[in-house]
Structure 1
Amino acid sequence: MLLQGKVAIITGASRGIGRAIALTLAQNGASLMINANREDLLKRVVQEVEGFGQKCLITKGDISNINTSKKIVSNTIDKFGKIDILVNNAGINMRIPTLELKSEDWQSVINTNLNGTFYSCSSVLPYMIQQKYGKIINISSTTAKTPHRNASPSYGASKAGINYLTQHLALEMAKYNICVNAVCPGPIETDMSDQWSPKYREQVLSRIPLGRLGKPYDVANTVLFLVSSMADFITGESININGGTYMN
């Protein structure tokens, strides 16, 4: 029970990586406030979390709207009285080439991925500063570090922005005992990968030294480590979780 007594906010927690993170943190003792756009899926996660004997509440809403972040934080403080952990997982992707990418498509990805992450951090930090403790994990991507033909430039740019934001906040918040890190997943088995053609899946697998796609729990276990006391001397890092696809 690495997180006994801790309170965590997780955005984009209705499925995939976000769901795995929610369940992993709950299994290790954390109480949760989870967020996503689909309340029906969030309620399923609540049932699973409660099966571990932990409390789990919902704040539905679009993370690209700053009022959603404020509401999530306000509800968490009202219900639990504190916030120890923030995991910014909510995000979207597009696969539109540069010359076909409309301005509204660009803005949509930037608003959700980068702005949404900033809104959540800025809403949570005053409470973490007050208690002189906090762990923030931003879910980025290896696309932030190296271009990918199957992703729109808006996605890579948004994730690269998240990596810089992570470092900046880590530097600025260190004096308050707040650690800020990012994780950069590579190819992970999710609803999105289920849509791949057999040929494309084979191409992806051929580029992974460990010879398999990652699982959502591969990401969740890394997040668990970073938000636990085992990682109290780690901050400002962007950790790759990609089976060796990209190494730095």
Structure 2
Amino acid sequence: MMLKNKVAVITGATRGIGREIARTYAENGAKIVMTGTNHARLQALYEDISLKGAECIAMSGDVREEETAEKVVQEAINQFQRVDILVNNAGVNQRSSTLDMAINDWKRVIDTNLNGNLYFSRAVLPYMIKQKQGKIINISSTAAKSGHPNAAPSYGASKAAVDYLTKHLALEMAPYNIVVNGLSPGPIETEMVQQWHDEYRKKVLTKVPLKRLGKPKDIAGAALFLASDLSGFITGETININGGTYMN
């Protein structure tokens, strides 16, 4: 029970990595406040977590709207009186070339992947500062590190900005004992990856030294470590979880 009685806010919890993080945190004693845009999936996860005995709040909302962050965090405070952990997981990808990409698609990806992180961080930080402790975990991507043939420029740009935001917040919040870190997943077996054709999957695997795709639980395990007391002296880092595809 590495997170016993901790209160965790998780965005983008309705599928893949976010869903697995919510389940893992709940199994380790955390009280979960989660949000997503798919109400049916969110409700199913709420029932799953609640049936296992964990306290949970599920709120539909779009992270592109600052009001969503304010409402979700306020509900966490109303119900649990604190926020110990924030996982900024909500994100979208869009596949097109620079010239074919619609400007509205660029804005949608930036608004979701970057601005959503800022809104939720700004919403929790006053409470974490008052508590003199807190953990923020931003989910990035290997697309932040190099050009990527399977993503629009908006995706890599948004994730590179998330990496900088992680470092900036870590430095700014260090005096308040708030640590801010990121996770940089490589190819993970999610619904998005299941859309790949066999030829592209084989091409991706040739670049992974461990010769397999990751699983959501690989990311959730690292997210558990960063949320726990075991990582108290780590801040400003974005950890690669990609089977050795990128090594710092």
Summarize the alignment of residues 122-161 of structure 1 with structure 2, pairs less than 5 Å apart: 122-161=122-161
Summarize the alignment of residues 223-242 of structure 1 with structure 2, pairs less than 5 Å apart: 223-242=223-242
Equivalent residues of 1:14, 1:35 under 8 A apart: yes
Q: Does 1:69 align with 2:69?
A: yes
**Partners in 2 of 1:106 and 1:39 — Cα distance?**
25
**Partners in 1 of 2:93 and 2:53 — Cα distance?**
34
**Partners in 1 of 2:220 and 2:35 — Cα distance?**
16
Equivalent residues of 1:8, 1:86 under 8 A apart: yes
Deviation at 1:20, TM superposition (A): 0.3
Query: What's the secondary structure of 1:98's corresponding residue?
Result: coil
Deviation at 1:51, TM superposition (A): 3.0
Summarize the alignment of residues 14-163 of structure 1 with structure 2, pairs less than 5 Å apart: 14-163=14-163
What is the number of equivalent residue pairs in this alignment?
A: 248
Equivalent residues of 1:83, 1:124 under 8 A apart: yes
Query: What's the secondary structure of 1:181's corresponding residue?
Result: strand
Q: Identity of aligned pairs, percent?
A: 56
2:4 aligns with 4
**Where in structure 1 are there 5+ consecutive unaligned residues?**
none
**Partners in 2 of 1:9 and 1:17 — Cα distance?**
14
Query: What's the secondary structure of 1:77's corresponding residue?
Result: helix
**Partners in 1 of 2:54 and 2:188 — Cα distance?**
27
Deviation at 1:52, TM superposition (A): 2.7
Deviations 1:72-110 (A, max 9, x none): 111110111100000000000001111111211111100
**Partners in 2 of 1:24 and 1:101 — Cα distance?**
36
Letter in 1 for 2:81: G
RMSD: 0.7
Deviation at 1:229, TM superposition (A): 0.2
Deviations 1:123-161 (A, max 9, x none): 110000000010000000011111111111100000000
Letter in 2 for 1:134: G
Deviation at 1:23, TM superposition (A): 0.4
**Partners in 2 of 1:79 and 1:34 — Cα distance?**
13
Equivalent residues of 1:59, 1:75 under 8 A apart: no
Equivalent residues of 1:8, 1:31 under 8 A apart: yes
**Partners in 2 of 1:209 and 1:48 — Cα distance?**
35
Letter in 2 for 1:66: E
Query: What's the secondary structure of 1:99's corresponding residue?
Result: coil
Letter in 1 for 2:91: G
TM-score (structure 2 length as normaliser): 0.99
Query: What's the secondary structure of 1:183's corresponding residue?
Result: strand
Deviation at 1:228, TM superposition (A): 0.2
After the TM superposition, which of the residue ranges 42-51 and 227-236 deviates more from structure 2?
Answer: 42-51
**Where in structure 2 are there 5+ consecutive unaligned residues?**
none
**Partners in 1 of 2:43 and 2:111 — Cα distance?**
26
Equivalent residues of 1:33, 1:76 under 8 A apart: yes
**Partners in 2 of 1:110 and 1:74 — Cα distance?**
25
Deviations 1:46-82 (A, max 9, x none): 1221233111111111000000000011111011110
1:177 aligns with 177
Letter in 2 for 1:218: D
Query: What's the secondary structure of 2:74's corresponding residue?
Result: helix
Deviations 1:201-238 (A, max 9, x none): 11111111001000000000000000100000000001
Query: What's the secondary structure of 2:60's corresponding residue?
Result: coil
